[in-house]
Amino acid sequence: MRRKMMLVIGVVLAAAAVLVAGCRQTNDFQELRRALETTDEITRGQMLTEFRHELDFEGLDLTPEESRELETYREIKGTIAERFDRRKGLSYVDGHLDVGGMGLDFKVYTDAERAILLLPTFTKFLVVHRDGPGESLAKAPVAEAGPEWAKRLAEFWNGLLKAENVRKTGSELVATPDGEVKVIVYEVVLDEAEVRDFAREGVRTVLTDPQIRERIVTAWLEFAQEDELENRDADAFLAEMLDNALAAVDRTTFEDFRYSGAVDRDRHLVRETISGRAVSRSESVTAAAGFEIKIRRWALGRPVSIEPPAITPENSFALEELEANMPKMFESVLEGVRP
């Protein structure tokens, strides 16, 4: 009798453990989804994005000069600091890129009427008005809560999250410019098929966006050879680009994809980390790319100070004057791609 009773108790406890674990998984999933949605609704605040990208090739038949040039792009890293107030249409971006040991800085200020850009190695500000040539450059994603393609991709990402691939890993203190913040950390682990689905959707979403397609066609019309323009129209060119990009995704192996998000008491994601590795193989060449992106947010919902630089005819130029103000180091690059 005692053995039967112990067996019944054991079964009941095991069932309860499974039920509790399932409920906890569901709650973890729901809490992270809620934090993602709450963070998307932020209209004011500050962000710092740090990124690192490593690229490696095997099997390429390169000259010593080509090998040295490829080595320059083996590692790319940088930071992007942002302040934004979407309700007023204001944003300020201060970025730094490190490519092959060479530092490149850029700054972008955007308001409701214009964008002011200080590009790497340029000595003057580029001013682009929203109702003038190059108006798409003046529409800052931060100020407008993100372009449509980014919103669609975020929705697809949210749809990938399921109770079984989200788990809470614990709580900790996160250092921010405002001081330490107590957070709960969630982790998402996707299998290779899910990552490939996300990559395919990313390619399809970006390359079918009307504004991006327009920019690609504009560049193609400017730099393509005459015989290429005669044999193909823009739609055929874009269709081929999309097919090639999707085929490249299908040839790629995705490894070690990880995502973690730290959620504060206001259900904001104050820290996110995404990392992974992709390996693409052909008959003779293997290309591997690893990446890591870290995002920190603070001062969310609070007023931000965004002051534009003082613009004068002496320290600025319009988009139509871009070529005349092009730094010498870029002139040789343009000469190499012009038909």
> Exposed, middle or buried: residue 297 (CB in 10 Å: 0-12, 13-18, 19+)?
buried
| Number of independent structural domains in the chain | 1
| Residue ranges in the chain whose pLDDT is less than 50 | 1-25, 134-145, 333-334, 336-339
Give pLDDT, residue 336: 47
| H/E element, 158 | helix 148-160
Using one digit for the tens of pLDDT, what is the confidence trace for 5-23? Answer: 333 334 333 333 333 333 3
CA distance 96 to 104: 6
Domain membership of residue 59 as a residue range: 42-337
Phi, psi of 156 (to 5 degrees): -65, -40
CB 291 within 8 A of CB 270: no
CA distance 121 to 2: 83
CB 46 within 8 A of CB 304: yes
List Cβ neighbours of 15 (8 Å cut-off, separation of 6 or more).
Answer: none
> Exposed, middle or buried: residue 212 (CB in 10 Å: 0-12, 13-18, 19+)?
middle
List, in sequence order, every beta strand (DSSP E) within the chain: 44-58, 75-85, 90-99, 102-110, 114-118, 125-129, 166-176, 179-188, 252-263, 269-281, 286-298, 316-318
Give pLDDT, residue 141: 43
Residue 215 lies in a domain: yes
Give pLDDT, residue 232: 65
| H/E element, 334 | helix 328-337
Residue 209 lies in a domain: yes
CB 213 within 8 A of CB 207: yes
Q: Is the dihedral of CA 152, 157, 160, 161 positive or negative?
A: negative
Give pLDDT, residue 187: 94
Residue 6 lies in a domain: no
Largest CA distance in the chain: 96
Using one digit for the tens of pLDDT, what is the confidence trace for 257-281? Answer: 889 999 999 999 999 999 999 998 7
Residue 16 lies in a domain: no
Residue 299 lies in a domain: yes
**Within 10 Å of residue 164's Cβ, how many Cβ atoms?**
11
Give pLDDT, residue 138: 44
CA distance 245 to 210: 17
Residue 35 lies in a domain: no
> Exposed, middle or buried: residue 267 (CB in 10 Å: 0-12, 13-18, 19+)?
middle
CB 203 within 8 A of CB 153: no
Residue 37 lies in a domain: no
Give pLDDT, residue 261: 95
Residue 5 lies in a domain: no
